[in-house]
Structure formats: structure tokens, C-alpha cells
Structure 1
Amino acid sequence: MIAVEQPQSPSLLKRSTSMFRRFSKRESRPVLPVSPGPSPLPSPRKLQRRPTNKDPTAKMITHLQTIEFSEKAPAVGSPRREVELRRRVLASDMRTMPFPASPCVQTVAWNVFLTPEQAYSLVMGFRPRETDDKWFIYSEGPDHSGKLKVHFHRSWTGMKIAELFVVIDLKGEGAGKIVGIKWDGSDQTNGLEQEEVKYMVSTACAFVLEISLENGVL
């Protein structure tokens, strides 16, 4: 077991944060379906606010942004890379740029169910290791109500392309749901439109995180 900790993001904890309330006013404590069949790994993969009492060696979580994960990522399909020890990607791992101050930065609802494995991958993020790895992905949260933001940047330039708004079931198996997406539709991204950015994010998730969002509702 490892404890992954990152600085608390005040913007995620403010009640005035409107993006999640806009898309999920009734989903602050979502009741999400659980995939049938046995779980591929035991409970250490859960995204929990506090450790269970079953493991006497478990570390007590004393910080809101501390999340406990298993040392190895859950197996998802037939991964391109070998399963390895993973460290959560941090915003400080690479130089990035925020969204431009432009009316072309847009936000819309997106309805995509996430399995615990998919939610885990989005939380952990991705740091490029090769020239062909064109994405840098990191997350903020989840906060006490399970709200998570996932940021998608181009690895070569640090340009921010998109941001996902996710709600994770902290009390269950760690499943989640994408409830919204924000993206840069300005000239610097050649005027990305809604369908294009959703396809781009889905492709990035498939290529570098090895998770499929093909069941998402556009």
C-alpha cells in the first residue's frame, strides 16, 4: 500500500464552485451501478477517505487530499505497457499553461460512467516518457464529496486542451462518472468543437491511460 498526497486545492472545496453543481446538482453523493461479477482486485484499490480497520498496517489518512492506492495499478484489458509501480502524477511534474482568457473556452455536460479501474487511471494521471507520448495528464482531488478535476495538456508545449469534471463514489468500490468537460476552442487549438474535443480526450485516454470512454454519451 502507498499513500499518495498532494497539496489541497482550495478551488475544489469551495461551495461556490459551479461546474459540478451545474451538471450534477443531485450527484454530490452519486449512487452508481456496480459492474457484475467478482472484482478483479481486493479492496485496496478503493478510493477511500479513510483506511479500513482490517489492515493493522494501514496508514491513517489525516489530510483531505491523501488517497490510498494499491502499489500496482489494477489490470485493465491487455495493457500496452507492463504493470508497474505507479506514482500519482502532479501538476508540478511538467511546465504547463492554463486556459487562455478567451470566450472560446467552453464547458458542456458529458455523461460517461467510469469503472473503478478507469477512475483510478484518471486519478493517477500520465507523465510522458517517450516522444510519441503527446499528453500530460494530472488530476486534482477528489474532495470530501468525491469531486475530481482531470487536466489534459499537450506534452510538447504544455498547452491546456481540456479539463474533465468527475464525481467518484468514495463510499463504494471507487466507480465514478464524468459529468462535464471544459476545453479551449480558440484559434490556438484550431477552433476545437464539442464532438472533436470529446473524441480527442477519449483517444488520449485509450492511448496513454489504456481506458475506453467509447460508451460516453456525446
Structure 2
Amino acid sequence: MMAVQQPQSPSLLQRSTSIFRRMSKRKSRPVLQPVPANLSSPRKLQRRPTKDDLNMITHVQTIEIPQRAPAVRAQKPKIESRQRVLASDMRTTPFPASHFVQTVAWNVFLTPEQAYSLVMGFQPTAMEDKWFIYAEGPDHSGKLKVHFHRSWTGMKIAELFILIDLKGEGAGKIVGIKWNRSEQTNGLEQDEAKYMVSTACAFVLGVHLENGVL
């Protein structure tokens, strides 16, 4: 089992910026159900994000998640290290204080291998790597936030809001995306932000998102 590091950024603790905040008012409610053994496809986990899915908790706890090494892929990730990347591993800047930072729902299924790779993150070693990626969480309910920064400037481009099935094999789904569409990114639109995150995941993590640009 893998002991998940304490989150390094206080952003997940702020109620005002939390996409899942109303979920904390609900009494114990399962986030994702484990995949029954008699199902042939993990896509049974998919459903449309609800309003409850898009509300972040007000704190994150350190827990253990199912550890499952990524399977061999035709396209290898840029870096194969299994040491988890932390926010403190690189100097970064937060989202600008701007109404141009937007959040929308997104519904993308993640296999256990893909969820594991996003938890572990990515630390660049050269300018051409382009991205610095780290995750906060998951908390006791499986809520995870993944941060995407440009490697050469540290500028924050996007966040993914993810739910992990902690009671099963660690599959999950993306339920939302928050991105910077200010002048820093030349007014990045929603489809462009989803495409950029999808290509970043494929390029540095070997994670190919299903319906990644929908």
C-alpha cells in the first residue's frame, strides 16, 4: 500500500474556491461504488457529474490508496519514476486573482493505472518536458485535485477534480476542470483547456483520457 503525502498547498482547504464544498454537508454517502466482479467493463462506473460531485470538502486527510503500477503501454511516459511529486518540488505561481479563471463539469473515466499516474504526478527534467504536475489528496472520500503548471515559468494552467474509488481497485473519474483563461493564456477557451490537459497527460504521463476533449 502507498502512504499518500500530506497536501502541500492550502488551496484545497479554502471553502470559497472549493468545487466540492457542499458535499461536506452530506452525511456519509459513497462517492463511487466498487466494480462488481461480474461486470466485463469498468465503464459501468461512469455517470454524469451531479451538483454534489462538483463540491469540494473543506479539508484533506492523509490516507492510503490502492497502489497498482501502470501496465506496459505502447507509448511510455517521459519519466518512469514512481516517487510521488510534491508541490514543493518546484517553484510555481497560483491562478491569477481574476474572474477569467473558470470551472466547468467534465466526465471522463479513469482506469486504476491512469488514476495512479495522476496521483504520482510529473516532475520535469528538461525544458522540452513542458509540464509540472502534482496532486493533492485523495481525502477519505476519494476526492483528488491535480494541478498543471508550465515547467519553464511555473504558471498555473489548470486543475482537475477527480473522484477515486478507494474501496475497489482505485479506478476513478474526472468530474471537473478549472483553468486559467486570462491574458496569461491568451484567453484559453474550454475546449482548448481540455485538449491541452489531455495532451499533457498523454505526453508526460502516458495517460490517454477517454473522451478527453468532450
Task: Tell me if TM exceeds 0.5.
Answer: yes
- The match for 1:30 is 32
Q: Distance in 1 between matches of 2:141 and 2:82?
A: 25
Asked if 2 retains the 8 angstrom alpha-carbon contact of 1:152 and 1:160, the reply is yes
In 2 relative to 1, CA 192–76 (structure 1 residues): closer, same or farther, beyond 3 Å? farther
In 2 relative to 1, CA 165–22 (structure 1 residues): closer, same or farther, beyond 3 Å? farther
Asked if 1 retains the 8 angstrom alpha-carbon contact of 2:7 and 2:137, the reply is no
The farther-off stretch of 83-92 and 6-15 is 6-15
Asked if 2 retains the 8 angstrom alpha-carbon contact of 1:107 and 1:182, the reply is yes
> Deviation at 1:131?
2.1
In 2 relative to 1, CA 76–118 (structure 1 residues): closer, same or farther, beyond 3 Å? farther
- The match for 2:44 is none
Within a 5 Å distance, the mapping from 1:176-191 to structure 2 comes to: 176-191=172-187
Q: Distance in 1 between matches of 2:5 and 2:98?
A: 33
Structure 1, gaps ≥5 residues long: 38-62
Pairing partner for 1:154 from 131, 135, 150? 150
Asked if 1 retains the 8 angstrom alpha-carbon contact of 2:109 and 2:172, the reply is yes
Q: Deviations over 1:54-90 (max 9, x none)?
A: xxxxxxxxx93143565x8322422425985511000
Partner SS, residue 132 of structure 1: helix
- The match for 1:53 is none
Sequence identity, in percent?
72
- The match for 1:65 is 62
Asked if 2 retains the 8 angstrom alpha-carbon contact of 1:6 and 1:90, the reply is no
In 2 relative to 1, CA 65–76 (structure 1 residues): closer, same or farther, beyond 3 Å? farther
RMSD, aligned CA: 3.2
Q: Deviations over 1:88-137 (max 9, x none)?
A: 00000000000000010000000001010010011000000222100000
Aligned length: 192
> Deviation at 1:4?
4.0
Q: Distance in 2 between matches of 1:217 and 1:194?
A: 9
Q: Distance in 1 between matches of 2:69 and 2:193?
A: 27
In 2 relative to 1, CA 22–3 (structure 1 residues): closer, same or farther, beyond 3 Å? closer
Q: Distance in 1 between matches of 2:121 and 2:22?
A: 25
Structure 2, gaps ≥5 residues long: 42-59
- The match for 1:173 is 169
- The match for 2:56 is none
In 2 relative to 1, CA 22–183 (structure 1 residues): closer, same or farther, beyond 3 Å? farther
Q: Distance in 2 between matches of 1:154 and 1:181?
A: 17
Asked if 1 retains the 8 angstrom alpha-carbon contact of 2:131 and 2:200, the reply is yes
Within a 5 Å distance, the mapping from 1:1-218 to structure 2 comes to: 3-7=3-7, 12=12, 18-20=18-20, 29-31=31-33, 33=35, 36=40, 64-67=61-64, 70=67, 73-80=69-76, 84-216=80-212, 218=214
In 2 relative to 1, CA 13–145 (structure 1 residues): closer, same or farther, beyond 3 Å? farther
In 2 relative to 1, CA 95–85 (structure 1 residues): closer, same or farther, beyond 3 Å? closer
Partner SS, residue 87 of structure 1: coil
Q: Distance in 1 between matches of 2:155 and 2:79?
A: 29
